[in-house]
Amino acid sequence: MLPPSQSAIMGQKTAESDRPLRILHLEDNPLDRQLVLQTLIGDKLKCEFIYAKNEPEFREALKRGNIDLILSDFTLPGYDGMRALAEARRTSPEIPFVFLSGTIGEERAVENLRAGATDCVLKDHPGRLSLVVRRALKEAEERIQRRLLGEQLRHAQKMEAVGQLAGGVAHDFNNLLMVIRGNAEVILLSEENLSATSKECLSHVVVASERAADLTRQLLAFGRKQLMQPRLLSLNDVIRDFTRMIGRVIGADVRLECAYALDLPPVLADAGMIEQVLLNLVVNARDAMPKGGTLSIATGSAQFANGAVRAHPEARPGSFVFFNVRDTGTGIASEHLARIFEPFFTTKEVGKGTGLGLATVYGIVKQHEGWVQVQSEVGKGTVFEIYLPKAEAPPGAVVQTVGLEKLPDGNERILLVEDDEKVRLLASRLLMDYGYTVWEAPSARVALELWRSHAQEVDLLLTDVVMPDGMTGRDLAERLWKERPDLKVIFTSGYASEVAGQDTEFVKRSRGHFLQKPYSIRTLLEHVRAYLDAKQGA
């Protein structure tokens, strides 16, 4: 049974609404029906009545639904108001139920209210009826709003718990992924000793590890903000890679079409986050085409002048790169379009959607300083268009791709602090293979002991944020900065930013740089080299 509509439930606004108030009136006396109608219309309530004079008609009207309020006589031939009230509360508990009778005494009225009636009005005092109707509708609206807020709070608490659990798991999971990927890349470095089949298998391990890390970030972003790791990207490449893995997502009855713009400018973006935007839009498109259809993804670039941005409140002048996701599905009703990016708003059946998918899309795109445009028509489909700022790549810059050749080396000295032994050994071996001197420490306290012997020799502190023994990477960095304010620090972590808490917030506003686990060999070496070469304070 549907709850009262938002337009009708506002008692004071009913007279002004284009939609009449739908009242189910259980009454066998035609004269009493007419009196109620005249009373409410005379008090400027726009009403539409559904009449029932017995139990079968009342049950059938309840079954059809779309009712805002029930008025009921207390005594009817072969039926009574208490049985009607019990039936209404069982099938339609949110609909206000008002008794309108000439036979209810004070004790019986109190009994009715205890049984779930909203109010009681005597037929010989019809002047109260309009006031009771308005008040009943207002109270019903407040109950519905409280219930919705309670559901949203419970959902938010559940998502918070899931987010914290996922964040804790992600720390260990990302360490494992880093060991898997890192060792595969180390073997690939000796590719002259590998067969073609071995190279291909190891490459698959590297790609699968990267996908797993992206999926971890997507899970975490579902309930919390992620630390963005932007780099120069080609949207064409991101979408090509993404579409290779969505066959099982969209199903066999949905046809996928892709169109890639030539010479598409790069964007500065987080690849995992962009893939999450694509995933959420593709899942929504699939759900809008339960009987199959066509899903289209296209890229392009656009230049907006001042006059061209007025059609969308979040657009702005400049050069932009875009991609759109179009479906031939059911479309979105115009009254829902304004709310689709609200957290927890969903038009899907209970259990079929969280209401967070498009909210996540909106948040990620805003974090990338872009905007979303939507066009939809019921029965004809929907198109979501994502605009991101065009990146101004320096001369000779190339979009980052997977590869292990020409990795940067160095001869500086690094204090490496990492409690996971396998991750520590992998990072240490890699850095030493590329010329660096490395002192290893499994905890911040051991690192302090090494610092006492090599304080003036250390060029860089590379430390995990979350550490055992009561001293975090942040605590260690602050201790060392007191002695060496010029010390360069790179923090690493497999935690989501909120799970790591104040530590990662500290990283973002401090002199240290942050490296999200699991990182690739190239990412580690390039990050270390770039930071060591950067001027102090950069």
Number of domains, the chain: 3
**Which of residues 281 and 44 earns the better pLDDT score?**
281
Nearest to 520 by CA among 229, 181, 180: 181
Mean pLDDT of the chain: 79
Same-domain check for residues 341 and 409: no
On whether the pTM is more than 0.75, the answer is no
Measured distance CA(369)–CA(365) in Å, rounded: 6
Start-to-end CA distance of the chain, whole Å, equals: 62
Same-domain check for residues 35 and 11: yes
271 sits in which H/E element: helix 271-287
Measured distance CA(90)–CA(242) in Å, rounded: 48
Chain position carrying tokens 């029930």: 70
Average pLDDT over residues 44-65: 89
Measured distance CA(462)–CA(488) in Å, rounded: 9
The answer to whether residue 399 is domain-embedded is no
How many other C-beta atoms are found inside a 10 Å radius of the C-beta of residue 492?
27
Give Cβ neighbours of residue 109 (< 8 Å, ≥ 6 apart). 99, 120
The answer to whether residue 62 is domain-embedded is yes
The answer to whether residue 105 is domain-embedded is yes
Q: Output the six-digit token pair for 208.
A: 């699968």
How many other C-beta atoms are found inside a 10 Å radius of the C-beta of residue 421?
12
367 sits in which H/E element: helix 357-367
Same-domain check for residues 253 and 360: yes
pLDDT beyond 60 at 493: yes
- What residues pair up with 439 in beta bridges, in sequence order? 415
**Tens digit of pLDDT for each residue in 281-322?**
998 899 889 888 999 999 999 888 765 555 566 778 889 999
Report DSSP state, residue 265.
Answer: P
pLDDT value of residue 426: 85
Degrees, nearest 5: CA angle 256-259-265: 135
Same-domain check for residues 443 and 493: yes
Same-domain check for residues 431 and 474: yes
For helices 421-433 and 129-189, what crossing angle results, to 10°? 50
pLDDT value of residue 490: 92
Measured distance CA(119)–CA(142) in Å, rounded: 16
**Percentage, residues of the chain above pLDDT 70:** 78
The answer to whether residue 1 is domain-embedded is no
Report DSSP state, residue 350.
Answer: T
Give residue 85's identity as a one-letter amino acid code: L
**Tens digit of pLDDT for each residue in 211-255?**
777 666 655 554 444 556 688 999 999 998 888 777 777 888 899
**Percentage, residues of the chain above pLDDT 90:** 22
Q: Output the six-digit token pair for 199.
A: 């190279």
Domain containing 341 — which CATH number? Answer: 3.30.565.10
Same-domain check for residues 211 and 298: no
The answer to whether residue 129 is domain-embedded is no
Same-domain check for residues 334 and 375: yes
* Beta strand segments in 260-332, E: 267-269, 293-304, 318-327
- Among residues 389, 420, 451, the one where a domain terminates is 389
- Among residues 105, 124, 143, the one where a domain terminates is 124
Measured distance CA(139)–CA(11) in Å, rounded: 9
Measured distance CA(416)–CA(438) in Å, rounded: 7
The answer to whether residue 144 is domain-embedded is no
Same-domain check for residues 479 and 528: yes
Domain containing 54 — which CATH number? Answer: 3.40.50.2300
- Among residues 338, 365, 389, the one where a domain terminates is 389
Peptide bond preceding 518 in cis form (omega within 30 of 0): yes
**Tens digit of pLDDT for each residue in 403-415?**
434 678 889 999 9
Same-domain check for residues 41 and 105: yes
> Please, which pLDDT band fits residue 495 given cuts at 50, 70 and 90?
low
Asked if residues 508 and 489 have their Cβ atoms less than 8 Å apart, the reply is no
Average pLDDT over residues 80-92: 88
Q: Which of 79-93, 152-166, 306-320 has the lowest mean pLDDT?
A: 152-166
Measured distance CA(485)–CA(461) in Å, rounded: 12
**Which of residues 203 and 83 earns the better pLDDT score?**
83
State which residues form the domain around 112: 6-124
Same-domain check for residues 179 and 249: no
The answer to whether residue 132 is domain-embedded is no
The answer to whether residue 312 is domain-embedded is yes
Asked if residues 143 and 130 have their Cβ atoms less than 8 Å apart, the reply is no
Alpha helical stretches, state H, 92-221:
106-114, 129-189, 196-221
Measured distance CA(129)–CA(126) in Å, rounded: 5
Same-domain check for residues 527 and 454: yes
Q: Report how far Cα 331 is from the mean position of its chain's Cα atoms.
A: 21
Measured distance CA(74)–CA(57) in Å, rounded: 16
Same-domain check for residues 21 and 99: yes
